[in-house]
Amino acid sequence: MSEDAPLILVVDDVDDNRFTLVHRLKRHGYENVEVACNGREAIAVMDAKPVDLVLLDIMMPEMDGYQTLEHIKRDMRLRHIPVIMISAVDEIDSVVRCIELGAEDYLPKPFNATLLRARIGASLEKKRLRDKEASYLDDIRSEKKRSDDLLNAILPAAAVRELKSAGAVRPRRYEGVAIVFCDIVGFTAFCDRHRPEEVVDHLQALVESFEKIAQGHGLEKIKTIGDAFMATAGLLRPVEEPLKAGLDCALEMCRAAERIGPEWQVRAGIHCGPVVGGVVGTRQFLFDVWGDTVNVAARLVGVASPGTTALTESAWRELGGSYKARSLGRIEMKGKGPVEVVECAPEATGS
The domain that holds 267 is classified in CATH as: 3.30.70.1230
57 & 116 share domain: yes
116 & 253 share domain: no
239 & 95 share domain: no
91 & 191 share domain: no
In three-state secondary structure terms, 282 is coil
2 within some domain: no
Q: How far is CA 76 from CA 45, 53, 79, 123, in A?
A: 16, 16, 6, 19
CB 276 within 8 A of CB 171: yes
Of 124, 141, 158, the position where a domain reaches its end is 141
130 & 173 share domain: no
Other beta carbons within 10 angstroms of residue 76's beta carbon come to: 7
CB 254 within 8 A of CB 214: no
178 & 127 share domain: no
131 & 178 share domain: no
Domain extent at residue 306: 168-348
156 within some domain: no
pLDDT at residue 351, as a whole number: 39
330 within some domain: yes
174 within some domain: yes
153 within some domain: no
Q: pTM of this prediction? A: 0.59
279 within some domain: yes
315 & 178 share domain: yes
Of 82, 106, 141, the position where a domain reaches its end is 141
- Tens of pLDDT along the chain (351 residues)? 545 689 999 999 999 889 989 998 998 889 999 999 999 999 999 999 999 999 999 888 889 999 999 999 999 999 999 999 887 766 778 878 888 999 998 888 777 778 888 888 888 888 888 888 888 888 888 888 887 776 666 667 777 777 777 767 777 888 999 999 999 888 888 888 889 998 888 889 999 999 999 999 999 998 888 889 999 999 888 898 999 999 999 999 999 888 876 677 899 999 999 999 887 766 656 778 888 999 999 999 999 999 999 999 999 999 987 899 999 999 988 878 899 999 998 864 443
Q: How far is CA 45 from CA 33, 54, 63, 66, 256, in A?
A: 11, 11, 15, 18, 58
Beta bridge partners of 229: 182, 224
115 & 172 share domain: no
195 within some domain: yes
Pairing of strands 220-225, 105-108: unpaired
137 & 173 share domain: no
146 within some domain: no
pLDDT at residue 53, as a whole number: 94
> How far is CA 226 from its chain centroid?
26
Whose CA is closest to 247, among 223, 214, 205? 214
DSSP per-residue codes, 141-203: HHHHHHHHHHHHHHS-HHHHHHHHHHSS---EEEEEEEEEEEEETTHHHHHHHS-HHHHHHHH
CATH of the domain at 24: 3.40.50.2300
The number of domains in the chain is 2
195 & 339 share domain: yes
193 & 320 share domain: yes
